């Protein structure tokens, strides 16, 4: 499989080169040149297989010949070995024709582990084979950072720099990042928002000399390999519930649009999906877009669901690529204008076609707490704020007669204990392996929202104090 940029001007790459590159050199995102197909007989043959068996089959066309089949299968098995549920991504029934897909059974308790545990291994494998070393840059709104650190800590061929917005991630989220005492892990608290962190990361990539000097790469959801790994659990869930003989609606709590885009990719491969519901908090740029056809970026407000406190959803560009006829030369200038102006319409007809498949539903903090309380009372299930938004959004938009609703739980309730306790009176305990998290010493650097200062810090850490 070859990978092309959504802006059409970057070189076409193999899977391993796209993995290491992260962002494309023209500012676009890498996507597969064609969508592989999963036929109905192939889907039926997945029934009864384990998570890792299904995942390996779903992902193998995306990897192609870039990594040997035995090596790849070994990495997939190894990536999910440490998860604390034998099904890896178990389903819980919430009501008639309504299910919850639990994606919080990895080491850092969010769905980000499902992609990053594999991606860390892929990076190490490819770099070791080439005898190379790189520095990963990661902007996080809370959960990516810890999942990336856990996937990269102590790996021989990697350094990892994680930028989080100071004071805008939960205590548990911060401590999961800052208490890892590995010399290849560097935490930066940025005095700004997640979008500022993301802009700083992009700024470092766009500085060509800097990027090449330190061999920068990204593990943000702009990295194609993460999307690929996430396609797997949508197929696993749908097959377990009766695909291809049943149709589905997926409700996904959405920030950067990576997770719901993976569900869309599963549909492109052939999964029978009627539609996607995008759950958002008051930072609802996508919900407003699908409702009105106008995308307008507004300032970010902190909420109980900080991993969705985002106004610019990077992976939306990947969806647009398909709706612009997979023509990067046409999409490139549109994206550049959008990034400059903070608003765009992307064409009325195009919007109508997208809005047939995608709808949004926005849930504010009060309604989120209410949802946590009601769902707990009705089903016994404790949900974190992000997951509660997904369930609420799903119920708000789903047609029970025509499809089965699968809402995605993206974080363990113990990651956001205060919101859960406020809503239910129950403080969810951390799993045993994190029980002493609040006693571990923290290590991080606080830096202003200033590209030059952040670059100096990275230089110092990688070049041993020879900052220029």
Ligand X SMILES: *Cc1c(COP(=O)(O)O)cnc(C)c1O
Give me the active site residues, please. 112
- Sign of the alpha-carbon torsion through 186, 305, 425, 422: positive
Residue 386 interacting with ligand X (CB under 6 A): yes
Report the distance separating Cα 281 and Cα 367, nearest Å.
10
* Token pair listed for 336: 């550049």
158 and 184 Cβ atoms separated by less than 8 Å:
yes
Residue 28 interacting with ligand X (CB under 6 A): no
Q: How far apart are CB 258 and ligand X at their closest, in Å? A: 3
Binding mask 333-372 for ligand X (x = CB under 6 A): ----------------------------------------
Q: Of 221, 281, 362, 455, which one interacts with ligand X (CB under 6 A)?
A: 221
Q: How far apart are CB 307 and ligand X at their closest, in Å? A: 3
Q: How far apart are CB 103 and ligand X at their closest, in Å? A: 9
Residue 255 interacting with ligand X (CB under 6 A): yes
48 contact partners, CB below 8 Å, separation of at least 6: none
Residue 410 interacting with ligand X (CB under 6 A): yes
Cβ-based burial of 365 (10 A; exposed 0-12, middle 13-18, buried ≥19) = middle
Residue among 46 and 235 whose Cβ is closer to ligand X: 235
Q: Containing H/E element for 445? A: strand 445-448
Q: Containing H/E element for 125? A: helix 112-130
Q: How far apart are CB 256 and ligand X at their closest, in Å? A: 3
Binding mask 75-114 for ligand X (x = CB under 6 A): -----------------------------------x-x--
Residue among 184 and 410 whose Cβ is closer to ligand X: 410
Q: Of 258, 270, 275, 328, which one interacts with ligand X (CB under 6 A)?
A: 258
Q: How far apart are CB 410 and ligand X at their closest, in Å? A: 3
Contacts to ligand X from residues 138-177, by CB under 6 A: 143
* Token pair listed for 325: 């006829």
Report the distance separating Cα 138 and Cα 150, nearest Å.
13
Which residue has tokens 């010493």? 441
Report the distance separating Cα 254 and Cα 280, nearest Å.
6
Question: How many chain residues bind ligand X (CB under 6 A)?
Answer: 16
92 contact partners, CB below 8 Å, separation of at least 6: 99, 100, 102, 381
Residue 220 interacting with ligand X (CB under 6 A): no
227 and 261 Cβ atoms separated by less than 8 Å:
yes
Residue among 8 and 255 whose Cβ is closer to ligand X: 255
Stretch that binds ligand X, among 55-63, 192-200, 209-217, 248-256 (CB under 6 A): 248-256
Residues in touch with ligand X (CB under 6 A): 110, 112, 143, 221, 253-259, 307-308, 386, 410-411
């Amino acid at each position: 499989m070859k990978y092309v940029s959504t802006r059409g001007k970057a070189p076409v790459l193999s899977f391993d080169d796209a993995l290491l590159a992260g962002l494309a050199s023209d500012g676009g995102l890498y996507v597969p040149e064609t969508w592989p197909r999963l036929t109905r007989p192939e889907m039926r043959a997945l029934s009864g297989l384990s998570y890792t068996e299904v995942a390996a089959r779903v992902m193998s066309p995306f990897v192609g010949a870039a990594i040997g089949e035995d090596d790849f299968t070994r990495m997939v098995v190894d990536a999910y070995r440490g998860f604390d549920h034998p099904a890896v991504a178990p389903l819980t029934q919430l009501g008639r024709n309504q299910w919850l897909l639990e994606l919080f059974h990895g080491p850092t308790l969010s769905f980000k582990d499902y992609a990053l545990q594999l991606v860390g291994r892929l990076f190490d494998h490819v770099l070791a084979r080439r005898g190379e070393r790189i520095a990963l840059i990661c902007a996080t709104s809370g959960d990516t950072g810890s999942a990336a650190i856990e996937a990269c800590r102590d790996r021989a061929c990697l350094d990892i720099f994680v930028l989080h917005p100071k004071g805008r991630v939960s205590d548990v989220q911060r401590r999961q990042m800052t208490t890892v005492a590995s010399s290849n892990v560097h935490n930066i608290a940025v005095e700004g928002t997640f979008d500022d962190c993301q802009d700083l990361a992009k700024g470092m990539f766009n500085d060509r000399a800097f990027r090449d000097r330190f061999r920068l790469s990204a593990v943000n959801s702009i990295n194609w390999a993460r999307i690929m790994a996430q396609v797997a659990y949508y197929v696993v869930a749908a097959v377990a519930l009766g695909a291809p003989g049943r149709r589905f609606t997926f409700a996904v709590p959405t920030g950067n649009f990576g997770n719901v885009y993976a569900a869309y990719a599963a549909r492109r491969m052939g999964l029978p999906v009627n539609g996607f519901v995008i759950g958002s908090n008051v930072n609802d740029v996508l919900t407003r877009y699908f409702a009105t056809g106008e995308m307008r970026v507004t300032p970010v407000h902190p909420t109980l669901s900080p991993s969705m406190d985002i106004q610019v959803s990077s992976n939306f560009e990947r969806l647009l690529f398909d709706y612009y006829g997979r023509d990067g030369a046409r999409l490139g200038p549109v994206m550049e204008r959008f990034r400059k102006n903070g608003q765009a319409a992307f064409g009325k007809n195009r919007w109508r076609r997208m809005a047939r498949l995608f709808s949004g539903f926005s849930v504010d903090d009060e309604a989120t707490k209410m949802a946590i309380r009601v769902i707990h009372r009705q089903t016994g299930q404790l949900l974190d704020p992000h997951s509660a938004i997904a369930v609420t959004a799903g119920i708000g938009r789903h047609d029970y007669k025509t499809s089965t609703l699968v809402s995605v739980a993206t974080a363990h309730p113990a990651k956001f204990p205060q919101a859960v306790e406020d809503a239910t009176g129950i403080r969810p305990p951390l799993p045993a392996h994190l029980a002493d998290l609040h006693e571990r010493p923290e290590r991080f650097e606080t830096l202003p929202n200033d590209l030059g200062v952040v670059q100096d810090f990275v230089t110092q850490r990688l070049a041993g104090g020879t900052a220029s």
